[in-house]
Amino acid sequence: MLPLQLQPQSHIPLYIQLRDQLRALVHTGELRPGDRIPASRELATHLGVHRTTVANAYAELESEGLIQGHVGRGTFICAADGTMKITPPAPSSPISATNGAVRWESLFSDERGDEALSRLTDGVPAEGISFVLARPDAQHFPVAAIRQCCNTVMKREGARILQMGASDGYGPLKEVLLDLLRSEGLQLRNENLLITDGCQQALDLICKAFLRPGDSVVMENPTYPGAIAIFAGARVRCLGVPVRAESPDPKVNGNPLASPGVDLNALEATLMANRVKLIVLTPDFQNPTGTSLTIAARRRVIEIAARYQVPIVEDHIYARLRTREKTPSLKQLDRGNGVIQIDSFSKMAFPGLRVGWCIAPENVIERLRLVKQTTDLHTDQLSQATLAEFIRRGWLVRHLNKMRALYTRRLAAIEKALERHLPEGARWTRPEGGMCVWVELPAGFDASELLIHAREHGVLFAPGRYFYFQNPQPNTLRLGFAGVAEREIARGIATLADVLRVEMRKRQRGARRAEVPRVALV
Ligand SMILES: Cc1ncc(COP(=O)(O)O)c(C=O)c1O
């Protein structure tokens, strides 16, 4: 069957999703002229949608001249050279017949919508409190220190920085990073390290290097929306594994199956039932749930992945924001060569410089380097050189220690406020670091609706639906605490709890009303 994946929860109509995915398969060459595509009834059954959904998508593609139906023989992909008659493209042409203007939307390659979380904060008054984003606090950026580093490197090697650079990264940054990573116990050579524009780009490069439309990756569900967008854009099948928010077992460290984080039984079952190309995981302070895998669970993940021979992409972006002692990463625990680790300065320092890195076996790094070359040639050299200087002076460690202490206080403040204010029936995760806490409202609540009321009172958060690529749980939400001062945290959570209580009372009243027996009108 064709590699098609429809998302019923998307606001994009199913027939448009199907039309665009079929069109993409033609453009990528997966479907070639003369190929027969399934009958609408057959495809509808396979996708679990109504037959008219498929019929509407086929009708659009036929009007574009991409497919043609032949009574009794089936529906076929058309050739551009006219081996099959192509319907004139007038109705769907990107050029409007009436005014000659280009209809750009009709040319977009896919159906992605603007679902960016950052848009939630649009139009919020300055005194509003936003828990929407998981970002560092810009008020604490050491701007003067960065300016000093920037001036130094420009004075010392300005011409070199302004010239084109190496696609694997700026040499001095690679050197200081290798020192840092080796001091953490990783046996690395220069050839194991690629500088990227951040973890988002690393995921994109990995996707381009390894995945074709229809391939499958396993990801935590819910997960970081940027990863969902990359794989969806590449027509990759995302197989979701649920994330366990809390451990029911007090002896959790010894029992990997009771670890918070990705559900290991479900992971194994997914690998058993599917041909999977990559497993993408965030073992430390997973975004959005804030959960971390225990050491035992990490060992088990590596064992399971090795058994099914599926490489792991470990997103290590939050790992250095741990309030207590550090847990070894999958990369540190891996005795084979099955882990690609991606990391970045975005959470531990400054996301605006857009610098991150990726560590992997040499042949993987070489392939990713080639892909990067065709993507952006190399990462910005002024950012790389400035960060190298910042690290060399010992200022990154100093900054990180300061921010870790700040975030630890903020985490304690949000836990205290949640404990104190949230009504019974709401549950939340207890991370030991990172930037977010995940809340589960009582069953039946919709966090998107709650946001409408909370917004009226100047408090914002990220509804859970942004983070799911399947089976969204509407009663979930993420609270990003790193960028909110302690006093604001206390005020914001108290307000949110008040709003939630009002909504709960409304629901109770509604339920009671529904219980009153109706008097028959005679
Ligand atoms: C889990 C995760 N991975 C990757 C990214 C993107 O990171 P970067 O800024 O390094 O591209 C984020 C950003 O929020 C994230 O939460």
Q: Could you read off the pLDDT of 448-484 as tens digits, one per residue? A: 999 999 999 999 999 999 999 999 999 999 999 999 9
Q: Count the Cβ atoms, other than its own, within 10 Å of residue 80.
A: 10
Q: Is 223 in the pocket of ligand 1 (CB under 6 A)?
A: no
CB of 220 sitting under 6 A from ligand 1: no
Q: Which region among 13-17, 401-405, 406-410 has the lowest average model confidence (pLDDT)?
A: 13-17
Choose the residue to mutate in 118, 344, 355, 384 for probing ligand 1, maximizing ligand atoms within 8 Å of C-beta. 344
Query: What Cα–Cα distance (Å) separates residue 361 from each residue in 77, 336, 369, 374?
Result: 41, 10, 12, 21
Q: What is the pLDDT at residue 18?
A: 87
- Report, in angstroms and rounded to the nearest whole number, the Rg of the chain calculated over CA atoms: 26
User: Distance, CA 317 to ligand 1 centroid (Å)?
Assistant: 7
134 within ligand 1 shell (Cβ under 6 A): yes
Interval between CA 282 and ligand 1 midpoint (Å): 10
The CA distance from 238 to 214, in Å, is 9
Instruction: Give the C-alpha separation, 386 to 383, whole Å.
Output: 5
Give 63-110 pLDDT, tens digit per residue: 778 888 887 778 889 886 545 544 444 445 777 767 788 888 778 887
Tokens standing for residue 186 = 């990783």
- pLDDT mean across residues, the chain: 89
Q: Which pLDDT does position 30 carry in this prediction? A: 79
**pLDDT in the model for residue 420:** 96
Task: Decide whether any atom of ligand 1 lies within 6 Å of the 135 Cβ.
Answer: no
Q: How far apart are CA 112 and CA 24, in angstroms?
A: 13
What is the pLDDT at residue 254? 62
Give the Å distance between the CA of 29 and the centre of ligand 1.
32
Q: What's the confidence (pLDDT) of residue 247?
A: 58
Q: What angle, 0 to 180 degrees and rounded to 10, lies between the N-to-C axes of helices 51-64 and 40-47?
A: 130
Residue 275 CB neighbours (<10 A): 9
Among 201, 205, 346, 379, residue to substitute to test ligand 1 (most atoms within 8 Å of Cβ) = 346
Q: CB neighbours of 83 closer than 8 A, spacing ≥ 6?
A: 33, 34
| Strands 356-359 vs 339-344: parallel, antiparallel or unpaired | antiparallel
Determine the longest span between alpha carbons in the chain, in angstroms: 93
8-state DSSP, 127 = T
* Spacing, Cα 381 to ligand 1 middle (Å): 20
Going from the Cα of 91 to the center of ligand 1, the distance in angstroms, rounded, reads 42
Q: Which residues of 438-475 are buried (b: 16+ CB within 10 A; e: fewer)?
A: bbbbeeebbbeebbebbbeebbbbbbbbbbbbeebbbb
Residue 344 Cβ contacting ligand 1 at under 6 Å: yes
Q: pTM to 2 decimals?
A: 0.81
Task: Say yes or no to pLDDT of 23 above 60.
Answer: yes
Residue 473 Ramachandran class (φ > 0 left, ψ -120 to 50 alpha, else beta): beta
Conformational region of residue 123, where left means phi above 0, alpha means psi within -120 to 50, and beta covers everything else: left
Q: Which of 133, 194, 199 to mutate to test the pocket of ligand 1 (most atoms within 8 A of CB)?
A: 199
Residue with tokens 């990997």: 256
- Residue 2 burial (CB count, 10 A): 17
Q: Where are the alpha helices (DSSP H) in 350-437?
A: 362-376, 381-392, 395-421
Mean pLDDT (whole number) for 360-385: 98
Confidence check: pLDDT of 143 > 90: yes
Interval 27-58: pLDDT, tens: 777 788 888 898 888 888 888 887 777 887 88
Tell me how far apart the alpha carbons of residues 284 and 344 are, in angstroms, rounded to a whole number. 14
